[in-house]
Structure 1
């Protein structure tokens, strides 16, 4: 079937992940007169668009959605749909369902590289596959020059439908948090104490849990907006510039191969932390900081069995009895502090992330997985480079990753490993040997490549409203905008920053109209 690409709109949004969806939502609410076009390189997986694949109950249909998200290199058809399957294996590169790895250029000689850096290509972006964790940044993670950060985070929580208490009735959840708090809370500020993990999930009246994807961020107001168009399988190859200002995009229809130029008053590039700087570079927008301060979160995991607890009644409390798509039976949060510069995600698992004996069937909620994320030692030299002579599978400039773990990073990983072991001892009996640290990129929390700054001093790509320095009308969005070395899951923060950018565009559109 043929489809129509408009010749002109008010705002083009490149990418349909949570941040691209946040721009569409805020603009639909605040500038309903504006014409909006969202372009997504991957296919639409569900209706409504952008839904989370965990909400697909049929395993075959879920697998098909994951394969369709894996861009130019889909995994084999028999790949397990459970993202926890093989979660802690020691493979040098981890290909997770619904994502695809850089085929080349992920490590340079003598460097650590990002062998596990992954992307997804589908309507909803990584928001169709993520774990839904939405903690707020604190202390040194916060962006000091944003006075309204807390209000923006609150708005981000609204768009993502964040729930602080989705799994409060999980077996032994209170006991897990009590043991964590007894061990960790004594020297913490009140807002940095152990608590339930804020999750982007919705609990329905019948007990079902559904995960927030971009569909939730879009909301009814965007879906009902007759001035918003979403076109999947559309590759944006260039941001068009006129007299130094963003004036539209060039897009290739992947269904037909035809190219179209779409004029726009504003362009928002919300591809991801790898492909957003790639598109800017391909468009001739190349500030010094573009692709630099590349930031992954080193991640160390461990597992324990709770000691000295009774048996839970699985029929009454096991979340699998209410929803076949929820693998966790409780998620707790150990917030980052400057004194303890790690972010802890503590999951009570229905299946251990380390191998169990064949006859070892755990009582629901008694197997606890610990994941400690470290803040990266930010370096200008950790960067992406782009090579037009070695194009990627989409024909865009090939990505070359330069990335090293510094001495400070290795010290941080060692401290996180020690902290995980101490916490594990407070909870129960370890399963397996020593804690396991994933290879670089495995967190999928890549940041910094189009980072925000307070002033155009050469260390940032965009300003506080995410507008690119010296390129009026061009905004960037996603985890790559985050300028601080945060250790917590970044999605809530990046959506909050997208809210600020969308409000800025909405205000300008209203003034011009």
Structure 2
């Protein structure tokens, strides 16, 4: 059955696309919603997180989610690559990430921006690491009322199923946080003190259930297809539009190559920070700021050993503060040396650290599109121009020094392992390419409701809409922003629908 019309078409099935569907359904029960996803349905339950699968099922699901490299088994890390990683040098295996594909046409090396993406029902929402921290006040958006933003973040917690303290009674992690707090808590407000990282987990007697987009969609996954339908293996080639109004979408089956059009009252492009701009560009929607200001949290990794007795089940978090002194967000958690790709002798309890470093949005850092070279979906391919400048380099070095300080606060750095910065883009938190703005002055793509400037019924979603300098995992932030945009659509469209009855 080919769907020919819908009240709302959502391009992309990840966390923000699913949020648009869920909130529109909440506020506009009669809406007919169509969601399209370029990748396949890789799990038995719609939107099920890959971590809830058996090892064999997870491997199969990842192979299905690799877009143009679907079904391709990547070569495992070599000893040479592992030694390079330990020494703080470039490890080429980091560009081979099961479950993802390299979307950037640049050569995947230490100089290229790591443009990874996923293509399966649920998008990155079935592979994410489930961190649910709230952004600091300075990371939030000045032209959105603080109370409205806080309410949206609380709603995001509910949609994601964020658990603020998933492992109470983890004595080792509590001792870790006490040591860190003695150093970092003085002078911090309560919400920025060292704390457990909130995770989208349900903890049961049988283990942990990681939440995917099935948690966001809730009962919608069982709705009749005439009310809510997800089309897998279906790419959107073009948003159809006329005189500032989106009229529908042009779709193509990734299996048969058949193309068709769907009329739509509203279109939401929730196709990630790389492919959202790509779709708008390919549709002839090209505001000046489209694809510009791309930035990603620089990611610094450090292994350390501690005398704190494990297992350290809980993840600890040192939040970013609102002053310039701490533009970092740090996660610290127990590690198992048995998971190293090659045997390493470790004395003491092994701990891993990931330190996100804020990066400034700069208009000259941008996605560059190539209309003459189509990608696997038939859209303009792209490369990413985002060199590191002096400000970035200084923050990165400060981040490395902080990682060493944290290591010595808890114990000692692991001998033979350097403090490393992984290739830019490796955090998968690309931002700014669809940035939100207060006024239509050419520096932004959309308004506070994520509605594209100059359009009355075209919205965008995902990390790309974030306009601020951030260091914090962005998932709750973008789900909150999506909920605001979705509520706006439902309020306006349902009012119109009622008036025409």
Compute the TM-score of the two structures, normalised by the length of structure 2. 0.92
Secondary structure at 2:423's aligned position in 1?
Answer: coil
1:486 correspondence with 2:470:
yes
Cα deviation for residue 139 of structure 1 reads 3.1
Of 60, 64, 67, which residue of structure 2 is paired with 1:68? 64
Partner residue, 2:151: 151
Query: Using the alignment, how far apart are the partners of 1:136 and 1:334 within structure 2?
Result: 12
Secondary structure at 1:302's aligned position in 2?
Answer: strand
Against the structure 1 CA distance between its residues 177 and 79, is the aligned structure 2 distance closer, same or farther, given a 3 Å change threshold? farther
Partner residue, 1:223: 222
Partner residue, 1:209: 208
Question: What's the C-alpha RMSD, in Å, of the aligned pairs?
Answer: 2.3
1:409 correspondence with 2:395:
no
Could you report, residue by residue, the CA deviation over 1:481-501 in whole angstroms, capped at 9, with x for unpaired residues?
111111011111111110001
Of 12, 31, 36, which residue of structure 1 is paired with 2:33? 36
Query: Using the alignment, how far apart are the partners of 1:356 and 1:389 within structure 2?
Result: 44
Partner residue, 2:51: 54
Of 450, 457, 460, which residue of structure 1 is paired with 2:441? 457
Query: Using the alignment, how far apart are the partners of 2:382 and 2:104 within structure 1?
Result: 10
Cα deviation for residue 48 of structure 1 reads 2.0
Secondary structure at 2:266's aligned position in 1?
Answer: strand
1:12 correspondence with 2:5:
no
Indicate the structure with greater helix content. Answer: 2
Compute the TM-score of the two structures, normalised by the length of structure 1. 0.90
Of 335, 348, 351, which residue of structure 1 is paired with 2:319? 335
Could you report, residue by residue, the CA deviation over 1:197-252 in whole angstroms, capped at 9, with x for unpaired residues?
01111123x24211111111111145336511111000100000022210110000
Query: Using the alignment, how far apart are the partners of 1:178 and 1:117 within structure 2?
Result: 37
The gaps in structure 1 that reach 5 residues or longer are 313-317, 319-327
Against the structure 1 CA distance between its residues 106 and 142, is the aligned structure 2 distance closer, same or farther, given a 3 Å change threshold? farther
The size of the alignment, in residue pairs, is: 483
Secondary structure at 1:172's aligned position in 2?
Answer: helix
Against the structure 1 CA distance between its residues 94 and 113, is the aligned structure 2 distance closer, same or farther, given a 3 Å change threshold? closer
Cα deviation for residue 167 of structure 1 reads 2.3
Alignment of 1:414-429 (within 5 A): 414-429=397-412
Secondary structure at 1:187's aligned position in 2?
Answer: coil
Could you report, residue by residue, the CA deviation over 1:27-62 in whole angstroms, capped at 9, with x for unpaired residues?
1111110100000000001132111101002x1111
Secondary structure at 2:355's aligned position in 1?
Answer: strand
Partner residue, 1:132: 130
Against the structure 1 CA distance between its residues 30 and 345, is the aligned structure 2 distance closer, same or farther, given a 3 Å change threshold? same
1:351 correspondence with 2:334:
no
The gaps in structure 2 that reach 5 residues or longer are none
Partner residue, 2:295: 295
* Equivalent pair of 1:11/1:37 in contact (CA under 8 Å): yes
Runs of 4+ that moved beyond 2 A: 74-81, 85-90, 105-108, 167-171, 221-226, 350-362
Against the structure 1 CA distance between its residues 352 and 169, is the aligned structure 2 distance closer, same or farther, given a 3 Å change threshold? farther
